[in-house]
């Protein structure tokens, strides 16, 4: 993965519940107050813009609160920093990436992280403010794709599946790049950019392939999407924890996500209707 493409313009914004910035104490338990009254345990959970902070707030936080565990949701503006912060001990968990991306971060950055469980996931969508069907496209129209290696390959697979392109037979579609495009039906110009920037660039592009979290954050309407990804197992978002917390924090969060309370919070809210459920969901 070309992870280093992200580094250079990253910033962190803290939000929800108790405002906090990453980089302070590395423990997830607050010390007792001066009056010796014990404070609740605090789980710091990282997210990116989009629906997963809402999922934590509505589906996970209530169950943790019942156990006297508070949640601080820390919002990041990119995909890289939440994993670095988790590995460094500034977070207790994060929910902002699919398992393929996490595997790449572990392999390429040497991070000691592990997926605890996958959650309902919103697929990548194809959006436009200039055309309402692919047949309106013309040669030279610009198409924006996410520039990280995993999501770039993912977007190219979606472009192939909707008939915009074909990929070279010898290419690995799990690692495809723009150079692997074989035929380009409409003569489009494919460009790679930061995933978070695509939804802000519709005035200069004909199509944008936007990952679900950024699509939701930009209030893009999936009912008007020109195409929506069928979310494969390795593209479903996961709750990640440090390896040494897998049997503690990871086990606790996994238990909550598997609970009927969490399922009800998702199934009873139309906001999540378009989210692909995990394979374990109906078991």
Q: pLDDT digit string (tens) for 40-88? A: 799 999 999 889 999 999 999 999 999 999 999 999 988 899 999 999 9
Q: With respect to residue 282, please indicate whether it lies within any of the assigned structural domains.
A: no
Q: Are residues 130 and 214 in the same domain?
A: yes
Q: With respect to residue 9, please indicate whether it lies within any of the assigned structural domains.
A: yes
Query: Which residues partner with 97 through β-bridges?
Result: 238
* 93 CB neighbour count, 10 Å cutoff: 26
Mean pLDDT, to the nearest integer, of 236-258?
98
Q: With respect to residue 281, please indicate whether it lies within any of the assigned structural domains.
A: no
Q: Are residues 78 and 146 in the same domain?
A: no
Q: How far is CA 196 from CA 44, 54, 141, in A?
A: 23, 18, 20
Q: What is the DSSP letter of 56?
A: I
C-beta of residue 195 within 8 angstroms of C-beta of residue 180: no
Q: With respect to residue 29, please indicate whether it lies within any of the assigned structural domains.
A: yes
Q: Are residues 35 and 118 in the same domain?
A: yes
Q: Are residues 85 and 30 in the same domain?
A: yes
pTM of the model: 0.73
Q: Are residues 9 and 114 in the same domain?
A: yes
Q: Are residues 116 and 140 in the same domain?
A: no
Token pair of 189 as six digits: 């110009």
Q: Which domain holds residue 37?
A: 3-122+233-272
Residue 267 maps to which CATH number? 3.40.190.10
What is the total residue count of the chain?
Answer: 283
Q: Are residues 54 and 11 in the same domain?
A: yes
Q: Are residues 23 and 41 in the same domain?
A: yes
The whole-number pLDDT of residue 23 equals 37
**pLDDT single digits (tens) 109-158:** 999 999 999 999 999 999 999 999 999 999 999 999 999 988 999 999 99
Q: Are residues 145 and 157 in the same domain?
A: yes
pLDDT band at 30 (very low <50, low <70, confident <90, very high): very low
Number of domains comprising the chain: 2
Q: With respect to residue 279, please indicate whether it lies within any of the assigned structural domains.
A: no
The whole-number pLDDT of residue 38 equals 61
Q: Are residues 184 and 131 in the same domain?
A: yes
Q: Are residues 238 and 116 in the same domain?
A: yes
Q: With respect to residue 11, please indicate whether it lies within any of the assigned structural domains.
A: yes
The whole-number pLDDT of residue 274 equals 84
Tokens 């495809």 belong to 176
Query: Which residues partner with 76 through β-bridges?
Result: 12
Q: Are residues 13 and 96 in the same domain?
A: yes
As a whole-number percent, the residues of the chain with pLDDT over 70 amount to 86
**pLDDT single digits (tens) 209-245:** 999 989 988 999 998 999 999 888 999 999 999 999 9
C-beta of residue 225 within 8 angstroms of C-beta of residue 124: no
Q: With respect to residue 114, please indicate whether it lies within any of the assigned structural domains.
A: yes
Q: With respect to residue 283, please indicate whether it lies within any of the assigned structural domains.
A: no
Q: What is the DSSP letter of 144?
A: E
| Residue that terminates a domain, selected from 212, 228, 244 | 228
C-beta of residue 121 within 8 angstroms of C-beta of residue 98: yes
């Amino acid at each position: 993965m070309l992870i280093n493409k992200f580094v250079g313009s990253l910033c962190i914004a803290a939000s929800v519940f108790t405002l906090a910035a990453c980089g302070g104490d590395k423990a997830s338990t607050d010390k007792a107050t001066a009056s010796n009254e014990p404070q609740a345990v605090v789980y710091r959970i990282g997210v990116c813009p989009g629906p997963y902070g809402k999922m934590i707030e509505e589906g996970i936080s209530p169950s943790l609160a019942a156990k006297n565990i508070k949640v601080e949701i820390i919002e990041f503006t990119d995909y890289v920093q939440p994993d670095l912060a988790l590995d460094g001990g500034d977070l207790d968990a994060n929910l902002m990436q699919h398992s393929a991306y996490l595997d790449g971060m572990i392999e390429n950055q040497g991070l000691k992280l592990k997926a605890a469980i996958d959650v309902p996931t919103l697929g990548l969508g194809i959006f436009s403010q200039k055309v309402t069907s692919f047949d309106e496209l013309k040669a030279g129209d610009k198409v924006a794709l996410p520039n990280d290696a995993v999501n770039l390959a993912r977007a190219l697979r979606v472009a192939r599946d909707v008939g915009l392109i074909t990929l070279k037979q010898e290419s690995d579609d799990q690692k495809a790049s723009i150079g692997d495009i074989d035929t380009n039906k409409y003569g489009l110009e494919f460009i790679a950019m930061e995933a978070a920037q695509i939804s802000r660039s519709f005035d200069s592009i004909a199509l944008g392939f936007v990952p679900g979290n950024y699509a939701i954050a930009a209030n893009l309407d999936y009912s008007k999407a020109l195409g929506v990804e069928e979310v494969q197992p390795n593209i479903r978002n996961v709750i990640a924890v440090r390896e040494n917390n897998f049997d503690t924090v990871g086990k606790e969060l996994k238990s909550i996500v598997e609970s009927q309370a969490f399922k009800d919070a998702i199934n009873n809210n139309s906001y999540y209707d378009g989210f692909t459920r995990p394979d374990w969901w109906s078991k």
